[in-house]
């Protein structure tokens, strides 16, 4: 018998990649310079030189068996030490290497966090708008995903709606800040309220409720944004990080799961991670990448273009009449669609060779996502098309 979950997923194929494929077709037809593709969250800045320099050094210094061998089940010590030290210095945390588990990007970290924090049949609560891949991630682990409707005024958390969905079957709450697709960063007040409510629910239900914090955009924060380190506010936090965006290394599949030193059963969760790797056939993050991070942890690509693009787009779009919550980080923006049907709006935009993603796939219809991880010149050239799109809706 074929797997029913994967088969059902075919009905809802990855819409973002379908839009991207259409964009590639249009590029072949009309030329790259005439297509405005804001559909994919692929970093647009190169990795820092230190990435290739360090890889060369590692290739020279280490023996092939060390470089390319299986890594230990719990990860390579150099990376675990470097990550713990960095988090302690930058976030005021107090991790040891024993709290860090290297993974295949944030996706790999989430695969481990979900399977250590919950059993099949249990529930994960998350908040709209949310990353569309949370559905397959949770379905693949046999978990039920409940999406709390969005606070569309600020894209913080609608706590009344959160209270309404909480129940004893909830094993974990999954947050993503800075957020894909809104670009919004949860404020200290939001995190403190969430932490307080979750602690109350833990007492009421008599079991831990883990906070899974998905943070691949943690290093893309714009000036003046309040960006609390979430694990500092809630003991039972499992932090999922990735170097895909901060070092522009999405193809290398490297990230980590950090289990808070205060986490209930944290030692057990760390031990279980190696077993989860066996369960899902994802043993050990790439050795070379772990060694690289061991040497350059704390560095990032030059991420400044994302803030430049955000400022340009936000100022222009709001002046044309779009309504939008200003992003505090990431390379995404999530304006309200000028017409209620955001699928139609994005479809109409495609006819102008402007590729946007409808909010429907992020659990928040009536909006659209702009991934502005593109050259600034492209943003400037696309502005008249954005203007034309809203003017057409106003006619």
Which residues here bind ligand PLP, judged by CB under 6 A? 41, 105-107, 131, 176, 180, 214, 216, 242, 244, 250, 255
Residue 142 · residue 318 · CB < 8 Å: no
Residue with Cβ nearer ligand PLP (107 or 263): 107
Closest approach, Cβ 212 to ligand PLP, in A, equals: 11
Q: Per the structure block, which two tokens stand in for 203?
A: 């007492």
Reference 229, options 247, 211, 246, 243; nearest CA is 211
Strands 123-127, 237-242: pairing kind:
unpaired
Strands 237-242, 210-214: pairing kind:
parallel
Give the ranges where the chain is alpha helix by DSSP (H). Answer: 4-11, 15-30, 49-61, 64-68, 77-91, 105-117, 134-140, 159-165, 188-205, 266-280, 287-296, 304-320, 342-351, 376-394
DSSP per-residue string spanning 69-122: SPPPTT--HHHHHHHHHHHHHHH-----GGGEEEESHHHHHHHHHHHHH--TT-
Closest approach, Cβ 136 to ligand PLP, in A, equals: 12
Closest approach, Cβ 28 to ligand PLP, in A, equals: 26
Which residue's Cβ lies closest to ligand PLP?
105
Residue with Cβ nearer ligand PLP (140 or 261): 140
Tell me the three state secondary structure of residue 329: strand
Residue with Cβ nearer ligand PLP (180 or 260): 180
Closest approach, Cβ 329 to ligand PLP, in A, equals: 12
49-61 and 287-296 are packed helices; what angle lies between their axes, rounded to 10 degrees?
Answer: 120
Residue with Cβ nearer ligand PLP (231 or 389): 231
Residue 126: phi, psi to the nearest 5?
-135, 180
Closest approach, Cβ 135 to ligand PLP, in A, equals: 12
Residue with Cβ nearer ligand PLP (294 or 329): 329
Closest approach, Cβ 334 to ligand PLP, in A, equals: 13
DSSP per-residue string spanning 129-184: S--TTHHHHHHHTTPEEEEEPP-TTTSS--HHHHHHH--TTEEEEEEESS-TTT--
* Apex 128 CA angle, 127 and 129, nearest 5: 130
Closest approach, Cβ 179 to ligand PLP, in A, equals: 7
User: Which residues fall within 8 angstroms of residue 35, CB to CB, at 6 or more apart?
Assistant: 23, 26, 27, 353, 355
Closest approach, Cβ 255 to ligand PLP, in A, equals: 5
Closest approach, Cβ 321 to ligand PLP, in A, equals: 28
Residue 291: phi, psi to the nearest 5?
-70, -35
């Amino acid at each position: 018998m074929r797997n029913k979950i994967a088969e059902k997923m075919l009905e809802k194929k990855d819409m973002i990649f379908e839009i991207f494929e259409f964009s590639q077709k249009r590029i072949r037809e009309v030329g790259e310079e005439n297509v405005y593709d804001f559909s994919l969250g692929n970093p647009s800045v190169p990795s820092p030189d230190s990435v290739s320099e360090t890889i060369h050094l590692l290739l020279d210094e280490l023996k092939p068996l060390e470089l390319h061998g299986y890594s230990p089940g719990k990860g390579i010590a150099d990376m675990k030490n470097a990550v713990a030290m960095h988090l302690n210095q930058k976030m005021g945390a107090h991790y040891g290497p024993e709290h860090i588990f290297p993974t295949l990007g944030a996706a790999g970290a989430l695969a481990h966090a979900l399977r250590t924090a919950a059993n099949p049949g249990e529930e994960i609560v998350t908040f709209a708008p949310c990353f569309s891949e949370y559905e397959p991630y949770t379905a693949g682990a046999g978990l039920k995903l409940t999406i709390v409707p969005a606070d569309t005024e600020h894209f913080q958390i609608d706590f009344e709606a959160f209270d309404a969905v909480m129940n004893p079957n909830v094993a974990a709450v999954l947050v993503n800040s800075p957020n894909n697709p809104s670009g919004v960063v949860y404020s200290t007040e939001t995190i403190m309220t969430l932490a307080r409510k979750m602690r109350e629910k833990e007492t009421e239900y008599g079991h831990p409720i883990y906070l899974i914090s998905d943070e691949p955009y943690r290093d893309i924060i714009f000036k003046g944004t309040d960006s609390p380190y979430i694990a500092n506010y809630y003991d039972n936090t499992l932090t999922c990080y990735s170097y895909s965006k901060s070092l522009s290394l999405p193809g290398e599949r490297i990230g980590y799961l950090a289990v808070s030193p205060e986490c209930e059963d944290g030692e057990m969760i760390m031990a279980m991670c190696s077993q989860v790797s066996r369960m899902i056939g994802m043993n050990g993050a790439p050795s070379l990448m772990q060694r690289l991070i061991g040497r350059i942890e704390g560095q990032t690509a030059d991420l400044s273009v994302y803030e430049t693009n955000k400022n340009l787009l936000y100022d222009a779009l709001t002046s044309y009449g779009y309504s939008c919550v200003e992003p505090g980080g990431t390379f995404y923006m999530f304006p309200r669609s000028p017409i209620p049907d955001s699928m139609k709006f994005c479809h109409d935009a495609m006819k102008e060779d402007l590729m946007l993603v409808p909010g429907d796939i992020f659990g928040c219809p009536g909006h659209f996502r702009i991934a502005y991880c593109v050259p600034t010149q492209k943003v400037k050239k696309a502005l008249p098309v954005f203007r034309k799109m809203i003017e057409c809706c106003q006619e």
